[in-house]
Amino acid sequence: MAVLVNKKSKVIVQGFTGSEGSFHAQQMIEYGTNVVGGVTPGKGGQTHLDKPVFNTVKEAVDKAGADVSIIFVPPAFAADAIMEAADAGIKVIVCITEGIPVKDMIPVKEYVKSKGCVLIGPNCPGVITPGEAKVGIMPGFVFKSGKIGIVSKSGTLTYEAADQIVKAGLGISTAIGIGGDPIIGTPTKDAVEMLMNDSETDAIVMIGEIGGSYEADAARWIKANGNKKPVVGFIAGQTAPPGRRMGHAGAIIGGKDDTAEAKMRIMSECGLHVVASPAEIGSKMAEVIGVKAGK
């Protein structure tokens, strides 16, 4: 069982014929992802990368059976693209777009929820189930199949964690890059819950950063639900000054519980295995689950 995407997922690319959409669609196809086509309004009926182009997401659902969409659409149009996918019946929507205005995302989040679908992102690297499907922009070669789930706000730290896990002699079940914007479709707790309920995931890496309460909420949920699986946690931004945004739009310390130190303390109190550096993720996970690192 895979979380969110697998080899049977029928993926479409919104913004298919643009430069970003084309590049990453090609990478996804080469990885083995079941890309069934793409959407570019006004170009329906054409073929791109040997896949059909549709004018609307609804058309892609009706004609190609699409159930997963990845969005490479400029910020001004991305909110509408997300809602179009949700309205058409897409079950998993991955939005890569960075810079969508917060005021646009407020109604989008509620709309997606009302339609019963899952939104990953925006401003995220996507989702990968190694060996089955890559729906995102991550370097597929880093990820090897296994039983460790990853939930991360950061794209680069998702790749680093995967590399650390593989070097420790382990592998990844599904990695979910949730995105670093203030308003995202799937907060840390929800992504962790998916992996906690996945029979093919034995342990979880949870990577967060300063700002917001996502990591604290997830840690408290993990404790309240009996710490069913071991979780190794890391928080980026340990030297960030209060009030200054660091990288992601959501990475800004606004209160005493927003700091890396406070989040790490809460995670430890809730029974998570917290590391001070991403370089320790793999070895700590191997230690926690009783595997000799590198073997």
- Return the CATH number at 115: 3.40.50.720
Task: Write out pLDDT tens, residues 160-179.
Answer: 999 999 999 999 999 999 99
Confidence band for 95, pLDDT divided at 50, 70 and 90: very high
CATH number at residue 227: 3.40.50.261
Query: Across residues 199-218, what is the average pLDDT?
Result: 94
Kindly state whether residues 157 and 256 are assigned to the same domain.
yes
200 in Cβ contact with 2 (< 8 Å): yes
Given 24, 48, 248, 273, which residue is catalytic? 248
- Sheet (strand 68-71) strand order: 47-48, 51-54, 35-39, 11-14, 68-71, 92-95, 118-120
Give the contacts of 23 (CB within 8 A, at least 6 positions apart): none
Note whether 152 and 72 are same-domain residues. Answer: no
pLDDT above 70 for 252: no
Angle at which helices 155-167 and 281-289 cross, to 10°:
50
Q: What is the rounded CA–CA span in Å between residue 152 and residue 242? A: 22
Residue 277 and residue 151 share a domain:
yes
Query: What confidence score (pLDDT) does residue 256 get?
Result: 56
Q: Catalytic: 24?
A: no
Please say if the pLDDT value at position 253 is more than 80.
Answer: no
How does the average pLDDT of the chain come out, rounded?
93
58 contacts 3 by C-beta, under 8 angstroms: no
In total, how many domains does the chain have?
Answer: 2
Share of residues in the chain with pLDDT > 90 (%)? 85
Q: Are residues 202 and 154 in the same domain?
A: yes
Domain shared by 38 and 171, yes or no: no
Q: Which domain holds residue 113?
A: 11-120
d(CA 143, CA 149): 11
* 144/56 same-domain check: no
Q: Is the pLDDT of residue 243 over 80?
A: no
Kindly state whether residues 175 and 268 are assigned to the same domain. yes
Q: Look at residue 257 and tell me whether its pLDDT is greater than 70.
A: no
**pLDDT above 70: residue 112:** yes
Q: Is 3 domain-assigned?
A: no
Looking at residue 157, what is its pLDDT? 94
* pLDDT tens profile 41-86: 999 999 999 999 999 999 999 999 999 999 999 999 999 999 999 9
CA neighbours closer than 13 Å in the CB half-sphere of residue 12: 33
Would 6 be classed as within a structural domain? no
Residues 161 and 87 placed together within one structural domain of the fold: no
Question: Is 295 contained in some domain?
Answer: no
